[in-house]
A = this chain, B = another copy of it.
Amino acid sequence: MTTEVRARLRSDARDNRERILAVARAAFAVGGLDVPLREIARRAEVGAATVYRHFATKEALLAEVFADQMASCAEIVRRGLAAEDPWHGLSVVVEELMAVHTLDKGFARAFSSRMAEPAEFAAERDRTLASLRKLVQQAKAAGSLREDFVLEDINLALLANEGIRAETPEMRLAASRRFAALMLQSFQARPVAAPLPPAVRLPPAQA
């Protein structure tokens, strides 16, 4: 085998790996984590064996797919913590977490699913949660976050965000923006009514 051929084979393998990851990311984002590996192979136009050569298990594929989002989540919280005003920091964190969460169904599922929790995932999540907890304490100490706010309220807001349905992804994102602004209004210790992002026409009224 010439050096050139070996390099070509390595490059093909790398391309396959990237393509599988890109396809998996898109598939999980839209359909959640139930999309089977063989369907991902089909969409990536590779054989199932090729998928298994790169990712021995679905967990391995998931961990890799979500490593980026997990990192960007950690980065969102890190920036929030670095903000001069902790309330501003926390507001940006809530808005951005909610946007990530709205755009990527698979990401939300990855956090709640047992399957998608390899050890490094859990460790990174714990670090991010610890930072978030610190930010919450700072915002309370500054008197801007209500005293009876608990970390679980962010979880409550994110779970609730999952319920928001709309005709298009753009409308869903817009509705979710207004929802995040409303939640932030409610989290304030000394609330001031601030303008909201525009309302969005949603599916038929539920009641």
Shortest 9 CB-CB distances between A and B: which pairs? A163-B163, A191-B191, A160-B160, A162-B163, A185-B186, A182-B186, A158-B206, A186-B186, A150-B199
Q: Is the interface of A mostly helix, strand, loop or mixed?
A: helix
With beta carbons under 8 angstroms apart, the residue of B101, B159, B205 that contacts A202 is B159
A148-179: CB near B (< 8 Å → 1, else 0) gives 10111111101111111100000000010011
Q: Give the CA-CA distance A199 to B147 in the complex, in Å.
A: 13
With beta carbons under 8 angstroms apart, the residue of B111, B148, B204 that contacts A196 is B148
Q: Give the CA-CA distance A206 to B163 in the complex, in Å.
A: 13
Please give, as numbers and ranges, the residues of chain B lying within 8 Å of A150 by CB-CB distance: 199
With beta carbons under 8 angstroms apart, the residue of B186, B189, B193, B203 that contacts A189 is B193
Is B199 a contact partner of A101 (Cβ separation < 8 A)? no
A19 within 8 A of B: no
A207 to chain B, nearest CB (A): 5
In the complex, the chain B residue whose C-beta lies closest to that of A70 is: B207
Is B160 a contact partner of A161 (Cβ separation < 8 A)? yes
Please give, as numbers and ranges, the residues of chain B lying within 8 Å of A200 by CB-CB distance: 152, 156
Is A163 a contact partner of B159 (Cβ separation < 8 A)? yes
Q: Give the CA-CA distance A87 to B13 in the complex, in Å.
A: 64
A92 within 8 A of B: no
Please give, as numbers and ranges, the residues of chain B lying within 8 Å of A202 by CB-CB distance: 152, 155-156, 159
A37 within 8 A of B: no
In the complex, the chain B residue whose C-beta lies closest to that of A196 is: B148
